[in-house]
Amino acid sequence: MKFFLTFFSLLSLLPITVHAALFNAESIQLDNGLQIIAIPNHRAPIVHHMLWYKAGAAQEITGHSGVAHFLEHLLFKGTNHPERPLAAGEFSKHIQKLGGRDNAFTSNDATVFHQTVSKKHLKTVMQMEADRMRHAIPPEEHVLSERDVIIEERNQRTDNNPHARFYEQMRSALFSEHPYGRPIIGWSKEIQAMNSTDTKNFYNRWYHPNNAILVITGDVTLDEILPNIQSIYGVIPKGTDIPIRHFPVIPDFEGKTVVTQHESQIKQPQWTRGYRVPSFHKNKEDALALQVLENILDGGATTRLYKKLTVEKKKAINVSLSYSPNNYGTASLWISATPAEGTSLQELETEIDALLTDLIAHGVTDQEISEAKTRLKNSAIFARDSLSTPAQIIGQALVTGSNLKDIETWDIQIDSVTKDQIQNVSNRYLKTGEQETYNYVTGYLLPKEETQK
């Protein structure tokens, strides 16, 4: 059997040495501006090929939410490439025939197309992906039926699900007047009005090599694949006039903002708070401190939030905190909790606020910091135990304004976060109680109040 024999060479890199790069990614930029990342992973004779466009829901024009995602769907509806036209639906079918899998996703900051195939089919996949960078012109009848599919997608993901509708409202409140406040899939009314002119404009504005990043991971090296990349992707002309991604600067709230949502299907109330905090791109130092803080507060069953609120005080069934620093614009941090039987959402909120107040007043311990850093650094090693995860991490970081060096040395940077920095971000971003202005929105998801009989 082949692919378990030859990897001892990698072993020398494996111990956690401070100076080793996390993913050993290789990078180069083509003359037409396309950025190439190769991440060797020789475990199996397969490759994961991802094309990231630096344009997502946040680049939509106000009133036209959902267009980036709609376009993502339409890229599977064929091309009018002069030499290799492809009929609607043939893209995925062809990948399957090669024994591969493909899909795509849209986020606030990016639209991403990806395939996993046997190494021997990499060239074919590159050709197919390159062809639809400039030649995807879906026939009008497919545009309309695909819009119906997206209406069903929205029903399935959001409108059937009170938790999803609540989160949508929370985001909309937290990022009011900011494109991140729009649902990526789009508002229902705006989805119904989407048409091929909208998608064409978006496509022509953003889908160019100089606004994209190609990430290939698997049983390859950059040297080995660069000639094909050059001849396939390198010949696509550079796009002109690609707009600079620009976001409004939104002020903090002058009053406390609260979203209270009553839903007939809800049997288990939920408390949620979203904070606007810096992203890695906007403030690297704060973002790193927030990552360590996130892990100190919610790094498992023995860390602050769960230990205090669930194990010791029995006020919450569960409680979680999540912070994702990889946004091009500002980022958000979410705390979410389910109250214990007999505990009201107000009581739960008081407990969470008290925990945050204590954090701000007394800081965290050296031991908490050291444990959190160890968990974070180990998570980076576990990430390598996957074909696609390193590609996702690197792609996501690069489309949101980070550079490869930041990613490869992330463990070292995490190590350098100090107690003072953690104290500082706690104090600046997680304040509770009466303030001049607020960077957060608090939400209550509750059952429908019974009408008195």
| 374 sits near another protein (criterion: CB under 8 A) | yes
* DSSP string across 317-373: EEEEEEE----SS-EEEEEEEEEPTT--HHHHHHHHHHHHHHHHHH---HHHHHHHH
Name which position in 80, 192, 260, 268 contacts another protein (CB under 8 A): 268
| 78 sits near another protein (criterion: CB under 8 A) | no
User: At which residue do the structure tokens 């409202």 appear?
Assistant: 169
- CA gap 191, 145 in Å, rounded: 13
Among residues 6, 441, 54, 131, the alpha carbon closest in space to that of 257 is found at: 441
Distance separating the N- and C-terminal Cα atoms of the chain:
72
| 148 sits near another protein (criterion: CB under 8 A) | yes
Shortest Cβ distance from residue 381 to another protein (Å)? Answer: 6
Name which position in 24, 118, 201, 261 contacts another protein (CB under 8 A): 118
Please list every residue from 98 through 117 that binds another protein, using CB under 8 A.
Answer: 98-101, 116
| 140 sits near another protein (criterion: CB under 8 A) | no
Shortest Cβ distance from residue 370 to another protein (Å)? Answer: 10
DSSP structural state of residue 181: G
Shortest Cβ distance from residue 29 to another protein (Å)? Answer: 28
- CA gap 413, 280 in Å, rounded: 12
Q: 109 or 146, CB closer to another protein?
A: 146
Please list every residue from 328 through 367 that binds another protein, using CB under 8 A.
Answer: 338, 340-341
Among residues 332, 322, 262, the alpha carbon closest in space to that of 298 is found at: 322
- CA gap 339, 348 in Å, rounded: 6
Q: 5 or 249, CB closer to another protein?
A: 5
**Burial class, 62, CB count within 10 angstroms (exposed 0-12 / middle 13-18 / buried 19+):** exposed
Q: 66 or 299, CB closer to another protein?
A: 299
Query: At residue 410, what is the residue type?
Result: W
Shortest Cβ distance from residue 390 to another protein (Å)? Answer: 11
Phi/psi at 351 (nearest 5 deg)? -65, -45
| 318 sits near another protein (criterion: CB under 8 A) | yes
Please list every residue from 46 through 75 that binds another protein, using CB under 8 A.
Answer: 46
| 3 sits near another protein (criterion: CB under 8 A) | yes
The structure tokens listed for 18 are 């401070």
Pairing of strands 26-29, 35-40: antiparallel
Name which position in 31, 224, 358, 385 contacts another protein (CB under 8 A): 385
| 299 sits near another protein (criterion: CB under 8 A) | yes
- CA gap 67, 194 in Å, rounded: 7
Shortest Cβ distance from residue 378 to another protein (Å)? Answer: 4
Q: 157 or 200, CB closer to another protein?
A: 157
Pairing of strands 257-263, 440-447: parallel
The torsion of the CA quartet 105, 444, 280, 21, rounded to 10 degrees, works out to -70
Shortest Cβ distance from residue 196 to another protein (Å)? Answer: 15
Q: 46 or 425, CB closer to another protein?
A: 46
Tell me the three state secondary structure of residue 132. helix
Q: 134 or 375, CB closer to another protein?
A: 375
Q: 170 or 277, CB closer to another protein?
A: 170
Tell me the three state secondary structure of residue 356. helix
The structure tokens listed for 87 are 């009929």
The torsion of the CA quartet 303, 14, 39, 54, rounded to 10 degrees, works out to 20
Question: Of 37-45, 128-136, 189-197, 403-411, which part binds another protein (CB under 8 A)?
Answer: 37-45
Total residues in contact with another protein, by rule CB under 8 A = 80
Site track for another protein across 149-188, x = CB under 8 A: xxxxx-xx--xxxxx-------------------------
Catalytic residues: 72
Name which position in 84, 97, 256, 405 contacts another protein (CB under 8 A): 97
| 435 sits near another protein (criterion: CB under 8 A) | no
| 32 sits near another protein (criterion: CB under 8 A) | no
